[in-house]
Chains A and B, each alone.
Chain A
Amino acid sequence: MQSILAIALISIRNAIRSKLVIVLLFFLLITLAGLPLTLRGDGTAAGHVRLMLRYTLGLSTLILSIATVWTSCAAISTEIRDRQIQMLMSKPVHAAQLWLGKWLGLTAMNAVLLFLCASVTYGALLWTTRPGQLTEEERTELTEEILLAQRPLTPISVPMQNEIRQAYLDSRQRGEWPEEVTTSQIMPIIERRVRARIHSVAPGSFNRWTFRTPRLTAPDRPLLLRYRIGASTLDLEPIQGQWQIGPPGSGTRESYPVSATPRTWQSLLIPADLINSDNQLTIEFANTHARPVTLIFEPEDDLRLLVYQGSFLPNYARAILLILLHLGFLAAIGITAGAWFSIPVAAMFSFYMLLLLQAGRFIGQIATREVHVAQSPDVSWFAETIATGTYWIYALVNLVIQPVYAINPLEPVSAGEWISWAEVGTMLVIRIFVYSGLLMLIGVWHLRRKEVALPL
């Protein structure tokens, strides 16, 4: 253990002597000092807080990510280049101890820097939202919508199989598709249509969604409905409508008139006592817009019921922990890459990995869609092979990166959405124990085989 700690300390001292890291830390300082003072959001207090969390901490995370990739790539490769590794490896130091020492040192350094960034950002947040700086109304809005942790719920999904099947048969009957187009090619399109129809609100009609709520930790606190209205018009004039919330047919329902610009996020506070005895909350939206416009709610994206789960600070701390796990994973990639390659190659490889991780959602979308190559004499076998091969490459990359892909934790935390300990634990297991562990095994295996004293 002593040798691991000794190597960890030396890796920190090595890292802070890197000129690139010094430059990045200087940028970090500027970010922390300058951004909170210069950010001007959408003019609302909530917008300002969201921006401060996303941009100040987001930029700090980006800078720390770059610094981590560089220092981790340099951790072993510079020791090989400068031959100090000969002194280390001639001592009773196992390759695993060397790898772990480097990783621990860099992760400890990241933990300290991240803690500083998070503290400064939180301090700036408290300072800019202090009493006297904001109106009472703005402060209430912040404490009820942003500066807390709420669990996001999506509506209970409605079974659509019968409707999809019927819509498919109807479209075939109408001769909408050429004969050679297969069922598997048509079905996703039909599904999207049916989904849109089910969750749309025609002019003068209404639609209903039901949420299943968990046991409330604070029954006296209101729930928050966050929604976004899509409209079959490009006009930006506010949409008129009305929410009816509460058990249908009961006398306890509440009505809330709506006037909202299309595709903008809106919030509505709902009393918790509108939840029925089965822990379900029913909401209806009536389209009362003066002009005939169909309104669309994508239930997984545009409708969210937020239930109070805890205070802001622990949630913020969990978000920071998730960022630290991300940096730890990057350090693992860099150290292993640095054990294999020289710094430039290792850094290029690691930055490419970072890019793939950032593009996880996009790759996931490509890889989970079926690829169809038209059966046409115009398409050569070569093009077909390339298309299929590319798809399988995406599928393989997706298979590897999807478990470690996670959305930026600053997004939920800046929207007042809850990050559970289960999420943190899952990421700890996947990113650190499984993936970083695997990277360590690869790095150690290579270091044990590597001849560290080869003539350069």
Chain B
Amino acid sequence: MVSAVDTESSSSSSDVVVSAQHLVKVFRDFWRRPKVRAVNDVSFDIRRGEVFGLLGPNGSGKSTTIKMMLGLLHATKGQLRIMGRSPHDVHTKARVGYLPEESYLYPYLTSAETLHFFGRLFDLGKAERERRIDQLLEMIGMQHARHRVVGEFSKGMARRIGLAQALINDPDLIVLDEPTSGLDPLGCRQVKNLIQTLARRGKTILLSSHLLADVEDVCDRIAILYNGRIRAMGPIHELLEQRNRFRVTLPEELPAEQLQSILADLRARLADEPEVDHPRVDLEQFFLRIIEQARSESQAPSGTTPARDIAAYLSQDAGTPPSVLEQLAANQPQEESSRPPAPPEPEPATPDPAVPQPRDVNERLKHLTSPPPEE
């Protein structure tokens, strides 16, 4: 087991949004005999503004842990505090947004009615609900399906409505159980961007997934669960980084003789043969570029329309402008600089030279999701 269980001793307790200590959940049979120990001595803290990922295979205890956090299941042992209170406290629940693993919505309600219903559970006034629903539907690209009943939706569309209802109360803690399940790659990217944006706005996010790429893209810290126990936990870059190995990226268009010379020099200095290969583009980036190219040539797909800016009401730090994609674009260089430089992209998908190419993923996404040019 990787012993990266950090205690966050330096952070003040007021910064801890979720505190789970020695959590145990035993499911019992009809006769109250212990049947399954779904969660076994799990401890973790989640701090304010953090994106925390619960990672694990099916049946590892992710959803059970989440449901205990929401008061839907009772812990057999251990202590669980959400924002310093019991998870069963209605005041706690007023500050939590939850997207379950399946969107358990009322199939006969329209999108707007669904969001109104959940808005009313938070005692939001009609005008405020209308305002938030407009922004949320716009944000998830479902404005056109405002009056369509949820029962007619594809899984991806229902998922988007599920996500919108999780945000209707402008929650401080957002619990997302498999948020990208059922979404196409575009939708996945949008949701991941949204998670990052929400985190920037001070929201604390707990993400449960078995899709490793999702977790890697957005989480600050992760806990890997297996058989009800945490097997590894810590900041994602610390867990993944191999500190005793190095990768060297050479400039593009390096002449072959110069490369041979560098390799010869390396061979002379190292006992082992150095590994040399061509870098590969991330499949998601590749996919987005292909779709981008296709979009410039045709109409938008049916179903959802392109997602827009984040809902403006979702609380933000002072001084943050409301349009988040603009902010994203502005912030992107600093954001990108903290990550390893993207490898050069190979040839196969050549973008249309007539279409101006955005510089980064988020800009490209925004460009991608904008309405197609009139024919």
Contact = CB atoms under 8 A, between A and B. Distances in A.
A227 to B, nearest CB: 57
Interface stretch (A65-73, A296-304, A447-455): A447-455
Contacts of B93: 90-93
A4 to B, nearest CB: 10
B98 interface: yes
Interface stretch (A80-88, A334-342, A362-370): A80-88
A454 B104 CA distance: 15
Given A83-B102, A93-B90, A88 B121 contact: yes
B130 to A, nearest CB: 14
B123 interface: yes
Interface string B142-167: 00000000000000000000000100
A10 interface: yes
Contacts of A454: 27, 73
B287 interface: no
Interface string A262-280: 0000000000000000000
B27 A455 contact: yes
Contacts, number: 76
Q: Is the interface of B mostly helix, strand, loop or mixed?
A: loop
Interface centre among A3, A17, A87 (most CB of B within 10 A): A87
A94 B71 CA distance: 12
B306 to A, nearest CB: 27
Nearest to A17: B108
Nearest to B28: A454
Given A86-B104, A454-B27, A92 B94 contact: yes
A91 B72 contact: no
Interface in B73-111: 73-74, 88, 90-91, 93-94, 96, 98, 100, 102, 104-106, 108-109
B67 interface: yes
A89 B93 CA distance: 9
Contact of B117 (A10, A90, A455): A10
Contacts of B106: 10, 13-14, 84
Contacts of B105: 84, 87
Contacts of A376: none
B91 A92 contact: yes
A84 B90 CA distance: 18
A90 B94 CA distance: 9
A17 B27 CA distance: 34
Given A87-B165, A90-B96, A451 B74 contact: yes
Given A83-B104, A94-B90, A89 B121 contact: no
Contacts of A160: none
Given A2-B120, A6-B121, A90 B72 contact: yes
25 contacts: A2-B123, A2-B124, A6-B117, A6-B121, A10-B106, A13-B108, A83-B100, A86-B100, A86-B104, A87-B118, A87-B165, A88-B121, A89-B71, A89-B72, A90-B71, A90-B96, A90-B98, A91-B122, A92-B90, A92-B91, A92-B93, A92-B94, A93-B90, A93-B93, A453-B67
Interface of A: 2-3, 5-7, 10, 13-14, 17, 82-84, 86-94, 448, 451-455
Given A3-B122, A88-B121, 11 more contacts: A2-B124, A3-B123, A7-B121, A10-B109, A10-B117, A83-B102, A87-B104, A89-B72, A90-B93, A92-B94, A92-B123
